[in-house]
Amino acid sequence: MLETRCHCGRVSIVVPKRPRVLTACNCSLCRRIQPLFAYYKAMSVEVHGGADDYEGYAWGRRVLRWHRCKSCGCFTHHEPQHRRPDGTSRLGVNLALVADSDRLARVAVNLRDGASDTWEVIDRYRVGMLPRH
Ligand SMILES: [Zn+2]
């Protein structure tokens, strides 16, 4: 179990386990806010904070709805605008906000090329070690 928390604590999220891999991205939004996402089935994640506590943001093709704390502005998670055909949904949780950052030491990070929309992995590194470029 791992807990993430926005800066002011109004929104917190509990995920069931430490991820095997994190996703970083170079798209125009991630370039600015530097999140590290791990993906979980929505039903396995506890989001603490109600509709009043966070607000949504969607951009580009609007496939994802990003959620940020209304008070401190931290982006805590995102979710697809549409469920999968089997009715399940998957949340991307921003583990850059993890309460105890030691818990992510040396977890693998895949840097994906969101800027070009190919989403190919263009670099790999580990948490706590800078990307090579
Ligand atoms: Zn906050």
Domains, the chain, in order of start with CATH, read: 2-126 (2.170.150.70)
pLDDT band of residue 7 (cuts 50, 70, 90) is very high
Q: Would you tell me how many other CB atoms lie within 10 Å of the CB of residue 4?
A: 23
pLDDT-derived band at 25 (thresholds 50, 70, 90) equals: very high
Per-residue pLDDT, 75: 97
Q: Report pLDDT for 87.
A: 77
Q: Are 20 and 124 in contact (CB under 8 A)?
A: no
| CA 95 to ligand 1 center in whole angstroms | 15
Sheet of strand 2-5: strand arrangement = 2-5, 12-15, 46-48
- Say how many Å lie between the CA of residue 12 and the centre of ligand 1: 9
Share of the chain above pLDDT 70, in %: 96
Distance 93 CA to ligand 1 centre (A): 15
Tens of pLDDT, residue by residue over 30-73, are 999 999 999 999 999 999 988 899 999 998 888 889 999 999 99
pLDDT at residue 132 tops 60: no
Question: Residue 85: which residues within 8 A CB-CB, separation 6 or more?
Answer: none
**Measured in angstroms, how far is the CA atom of residue 68 from the centroid of ligand 1?**
8
Distance from the alpha carbon of residue 21 to the mean position of ligand 1, in angstroms: 25
Distance 115 CA to ligand 1 centre (A): 27
Ligand 1 centroid from CA 121, angstroms: 31
Inter-residue contact 77 to 64 (CB < 8 Å): no
Distance CA 124, CA 8 (A): 31
What tokens appear for 123 in the block? 């670099």
Question: For residue 81, how far is its CA from the centre of ligand 1 (angstroms)?
Answer: 23
pLDDT tens sequence across 80-101: 887 777 778 899 999 999 988 8
